[in-house]
Structure 1
């Protein structure tokens, strides 16, 4: 009996040892495979780009003390980032750039957020080649109730009276689409904290668009509509008059009926003159 018990004990210990060995082997293989996978994806290519050390606001000058180089994943480098000091400060540190949009600490410095070297943050720095700044007078209604900010885009509608060519009615028409706002009143700062009713807004437009806006502002009233973020410019012709607003269909002018030509000759029968119809020859 004791011999059987001892044999069972030996077999149990052997099976337990074999199980521990198999488990250890499985864990070792799993850890080896995990390390291999980590080694494959653990290497990320990086490049050094300039970021800000501290918060900088609109109009501040960006100096060498405000920036530092950090490693950035190569595939995630934003367009317009700077990696070479000579590109960020091409004319040396004595001609710093001005900030057009606020930057937070650690934020990548991009070309669209800075002026040219030595140039102050003003309207001229916000205009692209070929663009002009044009100011539009607005009110609480036409200026979207004070929600406009520099950097927004607006559609411009003209309301006035159209005369001539059989028309004599007041119409509202979309004349310009998705014009960028570059200033509200006398401020070009995008980070306006306090909402207020603007008296004027300034848009960036081509010379042809400026001429159209000037003509429209002198002959009628202009209203602005805020364009949604990421919305595309529309080329649709939009014009509404009172009839279109109320769904009134203009009555067609009556067509004049052509009168049938009648030809006659007169003959005298004694003292009486008689008219007789004859076929017309012309």
Structure 2
């Protein structure tokens, strides 16, 4: 009995020793692998070049058109130097100058942590009205629209449209006569829809007027066209960079009609007569005509 107990004890000690040996070997291998991975990470980090950054002013919260901009609404974050959006503010002294005559206002909707750019805010002391969105040399002009001529209410400030004129042309002009539709202006920018000048418009709204930014020459053409016919707008796609050519359609072109040949002029019937003198009177007598 004691012999059996001794054999079991010896076997247990042997198994325990083997398990300890195997565990120590596994732990050693794991530590070695971990050390190699740490060294590889250090080598990789050592080979990575540091990216130069610049402090860029971003917004602390989402802001809508017309909101005043104050210092609590912005902060400075590090931005990769070669990826800074054009026109971004990088200096608080420029964004909020000490000699400012008033506050800045948001011109376009901005999201939280978005880089603040010059095109999205007014100048200090300038209101967020329509005047602040008209570029130098341009003028604002209102066009009356409805659900059919205004692209079913899907127009928003910042969109571009082509303008078509439909009306009658006098016959005294070459090619005149009848009603025609002609493309008169292309890629005209909308700066307001009704009294909404901000671009953060959700959903479709049936507008009564849209305001466009155009040169004085373009406005003169639009005013003449609006007073002599009907204007219709065609929405231009965001990625559409094609240049529209002259477009004109009349009823003949629309229906593929050809001008009918003019009716032949009536031929007068030839009448042959002979004159006969009867005393002092000459009498005409009709006779058959011969060749």
The DSSP-based 3-state class of the residue aligned with 1:168 is coil
* Contact 1:49-1:71 within 8 A present in 2 as well: yes
In structure 1, C-alpha distance between the alignment counterparts of 2:184 and 2:175, rounded to whole Å: 22
Equivalence for 2:227: 218
Q: CA RMSD in A?
A: 2.8
Q: In the alignment, does 2:71 pair up with 1:64?
A: yes
More displaced 10-residue stretch of structure 1: 80-89 or 148-157: 80-89
* Higher Rg of the two aligned structures: 2
CA distance in 1, matches of 2:44, 2:163: 57
The 2-side partners of 1:166 and 1:193 are apart by 45
CA distance in 2, matches of 1:166, 1:66: 61
Structure 2 CA distance for aligned equivalents of residues 206 and 109 of structure 1: 29
From 170, 183, 192, the counterpart of 2:192: 183
Tell me what 2:136 maps to.
Answer: 129
d(CA) in 2 for partners of 1:27, 1:54 = 43
Structure 1 residue runs of 5 or longer lacking an equivalent are 1-19, 255-282
> Tell me, what secondary structure is at the counterpart of 2:125?
coil
| SS of alignment partner, residue 240 of structure 1 | strand
Would the aligned equivalents of 2:101 and 2:124 in 1 still touch at CA under 8 Å?
no
Alignment partner of 1:48 is 2:59: no
Deviation of 1:170 (Å): 1.0
Structure 1 outlier segments of 4+, above 4 Å: 20-31, 91-94, 251-254
The alpha carbon displacement at 1:236 in A equals: 0.7
What is the TM-score normalised by the length of structure 2? 0.74
| Structure 1: distance between partners of 2:100 and 2:49 | 38
The answer as to 2:42 corresponding to 1:35 is yes
**Structure 1: distance between partners of 2:35 and 2:71:** 52
1:244 alignment partner, SS class: helix
What CA distance in whole angstroms lies between the structure 2 residues aligned with 1:229 and 1:90?
35
SS at match of 2:163: strand
Distance 2:175 2:83 in 1: 60
Asked whether 1:118 is paired with 2:125, we answer yes
Q: Which among 245, 257, 262 is matched to residue 254 of structure 2?
A: 245
- Gap change, CA 1:226 and 1:64, over 3 Å in 2: same
Cα deviations across residues 205-253 of structure 1 (Å, max 9, x unaligned)?
A: 0111001100110111000011111212524111111111112244577
CA distance in 1, matches of 2:95, 2:77: 15
Q: How many residues align?
A: 242
Please, which of 148, 151, 155 is the counterpart of residue 141 of structure 1? 148
